[in-house]
């Protein structure tokens, strides 16, 4: 198992995994236009991989096939007098292929990210897990926090 940051050569696999992740949990999306989605996702991933705000972590096997990924976006806060302001991390698009689940792949990937978070002294990580994923995060040191407030514009 090789854990590393994604590169441009990984984009096609990442696009397919995003599609598979969506379809697995929402079969109503199966009829969507894959090519249209792939084009939009490709543009997003190219920008993300070339930015200093997004970090896409992958776990790949010895053949170079990605079995799991986690996307992390850094959120910079407005400085405040009297303290050093550090960014926090927003974790999203966490996915492990079904055939790689329950083998420790996702936990190993998350553990690497947790170490990276500590080394870089980010303030905290926030993630909105599905009910099914709560135990995965809990066993990896994550705790529930008070829900944020959200505004949905019409």
Q: Does the pLDDT value for residue 49 go beyond 70?
A: yes
Q: Is residue 43 part of a domain?
A: yes
pTM: 0.90
**What value does the mean pLDDT of the chain take?**
92
CATH number, domain with residue 38:
3.40.630.30
Q: Is residue 125 part of a domain?
A: yes
Pick the closest to residue 72 from 44, 97, 46, 53 (CA basis).
53
Q: Is residue 146 part of a domain?
A: no
DSSP the chain: -EEEE--GGGHHHHHHHHHHHHHHH-GGGTTS-HHHHHHHHHHHHHHHHTSSSEEEEEEE-TTS-EEEEEEEEEEPPPP-TTS----EEEEEEEEE-GGGTTTTHHHHHHHHHHHHHHHTT-S-EE----GGGHHHHHTTT----PPPP-----
Q: Is residue 18 part of a domain?
A: yes
How many distinct structural domains can be found in the chain? Answer: 1
**129 or 65: whose pLDDT is higher?**
65
Please state the φ and ψ torsions of residue 128, each to the nearest 5 degrees: -110, 95
Per residue in 31-41, pLDDT (tens digit) is 999 999 999 99
Q: What is the pLDDT of residue 140?
A: 86
Q: Does the pLDDT value for residue 27 go beyond 80?
A: yes
Per residue in 89-145, pLDDT (tens digit) is 999 999 999 999 999 999 999 999 999 999 999 998 999 888 888 888 888 888 888
Q: Is residue 151 part of a domain?
A: no
Q: Is residue 22 part of a domain?
A: yes
Which tokens belong to 133?
């994923």
Q: Is residue 88 part of a domain?
A: yes
Domain enclosing residue 104, as ranges: 2-138
Q: Does the pLDDT value for residue 20 go beyond 90?
A: yes
Q: Is residue 46 part of a domain?
A: yes
Q: What is the pLDDT of residue 151?
A: 62
Q: What is the pLDDT of residue 152?
A: 73
Residues 32-43 as b/e (b if ≥16 CB within 10 A, e otherwise) read eeeeeebeebee
Q: CA 41 to CA 48: how far, in whole Å?
A: 10
Pick the closest to residue 148 from 90, 72, 83 (CA basis).
90
Per residue in 6-19, pLDDT (tens digit) is 999 999 999 999 99
Per residue in 71-82, pLDDT (tens digit) is 999 999 999 899
């Amino acid at each position: 198992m090789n854990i590393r940051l994604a590169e441009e050569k990984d984009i096609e696999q990442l696009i397919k995994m995003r599609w598979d992740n969506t379809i697995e949990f929402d079969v109503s999306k199966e009829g969507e236009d894959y090519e249209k989605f792939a084009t939009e996702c490709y543009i997003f991933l190219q920008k993300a991989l070339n930015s200093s705000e997004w970090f896409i972590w992958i776990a790949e096997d010895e053949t170079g096939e990605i079995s799991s990924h986690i996307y992390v976006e850094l959120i910079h806060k407005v400085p405040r007098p009297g303290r050093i302001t550090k960014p926090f991390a927003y974790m999203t698009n966490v996915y492990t292929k079904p055939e790689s689940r329950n083998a420790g792949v996702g936990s190993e990937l998350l553990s690497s990210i947790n170490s990276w978070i500590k080394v870089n002294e980010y303030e905290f990580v926030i993630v909105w897990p599905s009910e099914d994923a709560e135990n995965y995060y809990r066993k990896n040191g994550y705790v529930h926090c008070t829900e944020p407030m959200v505004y949905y514009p019409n």
